Structure 1
């Protein structure tokens, strides 16, 4: 979108006082309590703002951000290696999708030829530019992959419809898909390049696109890798260029989470999350949403109920599939992602990176 802008284990205190005699023994609550998640911050050595994040595993992650910066860690964030593409200092990277520690694709945003896609096959030692936007009206926001070969990148509306790029060779080449299968955009409607999560995929063919800026926030759904789309409204606040759905996450083809709100500091976001149980056909407001605007969301792998949400004013966890969210951190993060082995990462402004503490899933 063009206008963008450590925790102690729960329950140990009471138990210790009871054992010491400071409290009656019965004062210690014997019921098991859920572990409380905690971010373990990592020093990236950069002052870039990271809105792109790819979690490969607990040990390996990529981040991408301002000033053409791309970093890679293979040791759990203890050391980050600067693998930025040469000469990319003027680019604004907002998304990175990685297949492993060696192969990754990054998206730079902006009008016209500022929107670009680059790919590396050697862990960032070298990069190849595989797409440079030739249309001055187009502005690409985020990308996603269905598998190691097939992926799409989505951009703001051109001629009244969202623009979709497609690749069938892992991001080595791209072509614009026909727009006749895309519903008409609403006045003022666009996508947000805030976390690399305005589009997400699940399975081999399904993709979902989040929107805002119009009278209503919407989620578009494709079952054929971006060729045709259906659309559904959401209860996430809209009606202003700063409001809408900013991030999406799906667990399989049915269970979806949407987060967003109003990204302007100090503005209320009373309905910052919504849930879907039917593949995005309908959306329901979370009865207990996050405390404010959230830009990133991720399911924990191998869990049917646990997910994380992040934003500039804090992080929340849900253990009931998005119906209720509880805060566990007040730090500023823009994006969150989890690898197949359960390793979860967050990243944001001023070079902030973090990994979820072991055992801190909250469920």
Structure 2
């Protein structure tokens, strides 16, 4: 009798999990604009900005229902791979390619001012993130075996090289796929995930505690080719890292890894027991143990901190982000595609 009770309890638990996953959905809001969107910043439940190829930027002030699109004047050929917004008036955009650019608006996109420009073809920016409204960073591919890391302490008005540049191994780089291979939190912890010949998680916890000491963790994610590795990291109730091979996006082997605590002083990394459905270019913390990931094969959800994943949508997206102050979760991708996640 007791054996049957446990069997039914397990079945019931699985049914409840599946019902919870099935309740998650993604609704398409916009598509058809000739731009590839990779930059997405959701300020609150009303305001969000996107950035993409062909100098494209767009803003919503009604939670994604309508969008105000523009091509930034004089930068129509720029590929704005990341954006950081602070309100409906203030935002910073970052361009990959040559020249490497950082622009800022304080009037809602009516005008943009160049805050950094570098015509050196060795510079290729991958991602941008801010600890708060004033303190932010831009990550670039390695030069002379050091990752490029630019820092601002005045809200993007001025930029300078960070004093502690992380070492890069031969054939190692970062991916400008969703702006989330770099994460910075309110404590100023810096997280970087890499790919190529090696896949690593680089962490600078606090330069006041251990100045310049980067923690370097080798990952088990797929790597060894220029198209493979870790593409995105998210911290919440644990840490989740996703990636894979964007040239073979249907491969689901070794595309997600998660950190879990062993005791109050340590933890370990492990590949997902049930991985996402294929290559994932972005992962975002939602709440509790729930993370959302997305990529060209579709979007996936985990409710156990990255251990097991379930596919919830087949639509191709590049990036997914949750509101800094609120619950709104948006996704964006190629062809001006924008979607909304409903928990």
Give the TM-score of the pair, scaled to structure 2.
Answer: 0.88
* In structure 2, C-alpha distance between the alignment counterparts of 1:260 and 1:266, rounded to whole Å: 10
* In structure 2, C-alpha distance between the alignment counterparts of 1:175 and 1:183, rounded to whole Å: 15
How far 1:136 moved relative to its partner? 3.1
* In structure 1, C-alpha distance between the alignment counterparts of 2:253 and 2:313, rounded to whole Å: 19
What pairs up with 1:26-65 in 2 under 5 angstroms? 33-34=19-20, 36-43=23-30, 46-65=33-52
- The verdict on how the C-alpha distance between 1:212 and 1:162 changes in structure 2, with shifts beyond 3 A counting, is same
Selected match of 2:294 from 310, 319, 323? 310
- The verdict on how the C-alpha distance between 1:116 and 1:224 changes in structure 2, with shifts beyond 3 A counting, is farther
Asked whether the 8 Å contact 2:38–2:178 carries over to 1, the reply is yes
In the other structure, the counterpart of 1:107 is 94
Asked whether the 8 Å contact 2:149–2:165 carries over to 1, the reply is no
* In structure 2, C-alpha distance between the alignment counterparts of 1:81 and 1:145, rounded to whole Å: 24
| Cα deviations by residue, 1:69-120 (Å, 9 ceiling, x for unpaired) | 0000111222110244211111001101111222111110014x2x101111
* In structure 1, C-alpha distance between the alignment counterparts of 2:134 and 2:84, rounded to whole Å: 12
In the other structure, the counterpart of 2:240 is 257
In the other structure, the counterpart of 1:326 is 310
Selected match of 2:205 from 223, 234, 237? 223
SS at match of 1:283: strand
| Cα deviations by residue, 1:212-247 (Å, 9 ceiling, x for unpaired) | 001x31011112479542211111100110000001
In the other structure, the counterpart of 1:25 is none
SS at match of 2:244: strand
In the other structure, the counterpart of 1:171 is 156
| Cα deviations by residue, 1:180-235 (Å, 9 ceiling, x for unpaired) | x4443111100000011110112221010110001x31011112479542211111
Moved over 3 A (4+): 224-228, 277-282
- The verdict on how the C-alpha distance between 1:71 and 1:227 changes in structure 2, with shifts beyond 3 A counting, is farther
Unaligned runs of 5+ residues in structure 1 are: 1-28
CA RMSD of aligned residues (A): 2.2
Selected match of 1:88 from 59, 75, 78? 75
Asked whether the 8 Å contact 1:261–1:272 carries over to 2, the reply is yes
* In structure 1, C-alpha distance between the alignment counterparts of 2:146 and 2:49, rounded to whole Å: 31
In the other structure, the counterpart of 2:182 is 199
In the other structure, the counterpart of 1:286 is 272
Q: Which moved more, 1:228-237 or 1:36-45?
A: 36-45
In the other structure, the counterpart of 2:319 is 335
Aligned residues: 321
In the other structure, the counterpart of 2:256 is 273
Selected match of 1:149 from 123, 134, 145? 134
* In structure 2, C-alpha distance between the alignment counterparts of 1:154 and 1:131, rounded to whole Å: 13
* In structure 2, C-alpha distance between the alignment counterparts of 1:195 and 1:227, rounded to whole Å: 26
Structure 1 or 2: more strand by fraction: 2
* In structure 2, C-alpha distance between the alignment counterparts of 1:241 and 1:315, rounded to whole Å: 23
- The verdict on how the C-alpha distance between 1:319 and 1:92 changes in structure 2, with shifts beyond 3 A counting, is same
Give the TM-score of the pair, scaled to structure 1.
Answer: 0.83
Asked whether the 8 Å contact 2:150–2:161 carries over to 1, the reply is yes
